[in-house]
Amino acid sequence: MMLAEAQQRLTEFIPRISDCASCRNDVVEDHAYVSRLSTALRHRILRELKVAEAAIGAHGFPASENFVQEVYWHLYWESWLEMRPQVWHNYREGLQGFSKGVWHLSEKVFAGNSSIEMIDHFARELLETGCLYNHARM
């Protein structure tokens, strides 16, 4: 993702920010209330302060508070994990204990071929778009 694309995503999402609090848990087609800014934030293409300032500038703090909280929770957990590399190490180590049968089944799920329609739909969405809304994952 390049800077221009990240800025375009933010610009397109700004009008929907005030609806985030009431709609953020809804899994709707095209995930209209998902900013799709995670990649830009993770790779530091956009900074949290810039995104928060854009939201607050467009809607004021009360209307954009939920979105701003989500932006900063993203930063918090990224920082939390960075300070605890053992968590990732332990996770990766734990994967080694899975049997070949489990890996085979998980590969079917990852490819969108689990035979469970809803899971396959979201797996294919993740493959096609590179992102998946949190509540769809849950």
Please check the confidence at residue 137 and state whether its pLDDT lies above 80: no
Please report the pLDDT score of residue 127 as a whole number.
87
Q: Count up the domains in the chain and report the number.
A: 2
* Whether the Cβ atoms of residue 27 and residue 135 lie closer than 8 Å to each other: yes
Do 87 and 118 have their domain in common?
no
Do 28 and 4 have their domain in common?
yes
Do 91 and 126 have their domain in common?
no
Give the integer Cα–Cα distance in Å for 31 and 73: 19
Please check the confidence at residue 6 and state whether its pLDDT lies above 90: yes
* Each residue's pLDDT tens digit, 45-95: 999 999 999 999 999 999 999 999 989 998 899 899 999 999 999 999 999
Do 34 and 66 have their domain in common?
yes
* Each residue's pLDDT tens digit, 97-130: 999 999 999 999 999 999 999 899 989 988 887 7
* Each residue's pLDDT tens digit, 15-31: 999 887 787 777 777 77
How distant, in Å, are the alpha carbons of 24, 103, 115 from that of 124? 22, 18, 12
Q: By residue range, what is the domain housing residue 124?
A: 98-138
Please report the pLDDT score of residue 99 as a whole number.
93
Do 109 and 89 have their domain in common?
no
Do 10 and 64 have their domain in common?
yes
